[in-house]
Structure 1
Amino acid sequence: MRFEELQEQNDQLWEHVHSQVIGNGVRAVGLFYTENSGITRVKSIPVERLRGAARSGIGMSPVFDAFLFDDSITSSRYSGGPIGELRLVPDLSCLIPLEASPGWAMVPVERFRQDLKPHPLCHRQYVRRSYQRLCERGISSKMAFEIEWAISLDREDEFIPTTQAPAYSLDRLGELDSYVMDIYNALTAQQISVEQIHPEYAPGQFEISIEASDPIRAADLRVVVRHTIKLVSKKHGYRVSFAPLVTAGGVGNGGHLHVSFKDEAGPIFARAEEERFALNPKARSLLAGLLMELPALCAVGASSPASYLRLVPHRWAGAFQCWGLDNREAALRLVAETNLVSKEGANVEIKPFDLSSSPYLATGSICAVAGSYVDSKLEVGEPISVDPGSLSESERESLGVNELPHSLSEAVDMLSKSDVLRDSMGEELLEAFVAVKYGEILLTKEMTPEEIVSATRWRY
Structure 2
Amino acid sequence: MSAKSGEASDALCFLLTNDFSGLTRGRGFPASALDQFVKSGCGWVHANQALTPFGPIAANHPFGPLGDLRLRADPSTLVHHDAGDGSEPFHFILCDLVDYEGNRWDCDPRSLLQSAIEKLFEETGLYVNASFEHEFMMTNLSENAPPFSYRAYRLIDKLCGKILRAMQDAGTGPEMILPEYGAGQFEVTMQPTRALRAADNAVIMRELVRELSRREGLHATFSPKLIPNGVGNGVHVHFGLLREDGTPCNYDAQGPGQMSAPLAHFCAGILRHLPALIALTAPSAISNLRLQPHHWSAAFTCIGVQNREASLRICPAVSGASAERAHHVEFRAADACASPYLVLASMILAGLDGIRNKIALPELLTADPSSLSEAQRNAGGIHPLPGSVPEALAEVDKDRELKSWFSEDFWNCYRAMKRAELGMLEGSSAEEMCTRYSQVY
Q: Under a length normalisation based on structure 1, what TM-score does the superposition of the two structures give?
A: 0.89
Matched to 1:140, the amino acid is Y
2:44 to 53, 60, 63: 60
Residue in structure 2 matched with residue 121 of structure 1 by the alignment: 107
2:314 to 334, 340, 344: 334
1:275 to 255, 267, 276: 255
Alignment of 1:94-113 (within 5 A): 94-100=77-83, 103-113=89-99
Offset, 1:75: 4.1
Distance 1:347 1:296, change over 3 A: same
Calculate the aligned-residue CA RMSD, in Å. Answer: 2.0
State whether residues 164 and 173 of structure 2, in contact with CA within 8 Å, keep that contact through their aligned partners in structure 1: no
Residue in structure 2 matched with residue 69 of structure 1 by the alignment: 53
| Percent of pairs with identical residues | 29
Offset, 1:375: 3.6
2:35 to 29, 47, 51: 51
Matched to 1:230, the amino acid is R
Using the TM superposition, name which of 419-428 and 296-305 deviates more: 419-428
The CA deviation string for residues 134-159 of structure 1, in whole angstroms up to 9 with x for no partner, is 11120111111111110022xxxxxx
Tell me if 1:83 matches 2:83: no
The CA deviation string for residues 63-99 of structure 1, in whole angstroms up to 9 with x for no partner, is 21111111122145633x3333221111112111124
State whether residues 62 and 85 of structure 1, in contact with CA within 8 Å, keep that contact through their aligned partners in structure 2: yes
Residue in structure 2 matched with residue 37 of structure 1 by the alignment: 21
Offset, 1:395: 3.1
1:302 to 267, 282, 289: 282
1:382 to 363, 374, 378: 363
Distance 1:275 1:367, change over 3 A: closer
Tell me if 1:180 matches 2:167: no
Q: Under a length normalisation based on structure 2, what TM-score does the superposition of the two structures give?
A: 0.92
Alignment of 1:127-166 (within 5 A): 127-137=113-123, 138-153=125-140, 161-166=141-146
Residue in structure 2 matched with residue 9 of structure 1 by the alignment: none
Unmatched tracts of structure 1, length 5 or more = 1-16, 154-160
State whether residues 278 and 333 of structure 2, in contact with CA within 8 Å, keep that contact through their aligned partners in structure 1: yes
Distance 1:24 1:132 in 2: 41
Unmatched tracts of structure 2, length 5 or more = none
Matched to 2:112, the amino acid is Y
- 3-state SS of paired residue (1:97): strand
- 3-state SS of paired residue (2:230): coil
The CA deviation string for residues 19-61 of structure 1, in whole angstroms up to 9 with x for no partner, is xx42484742111111112221121111232222222221122
Distance 2:358 2:348 in 1: 17
The CA deviation string for residues 376-406 of structure 1, in whole angstroms up to 9 with x for no partner, is 2221111111221223333323332211111
Matched to 1:145, the amino acid is F
- 3-state SS of paired residue (2:32): helix
Distance 1:427 1:225 in 2: 31
Offset, 1:255: 0.8
Distance 1:340 1:313, change over 3 A: farther
Residue in structure 2 matched with residue 203 of structure 1 by the alignment: 183
Matched to 1:181, the amino acid is G
State whether residues 112 and 345 of structure 2, in contact with CA within 8 Å, keep that contact through their aligned partners in structure 1: yes
Tell me if 1:441 matches 2:422: yes
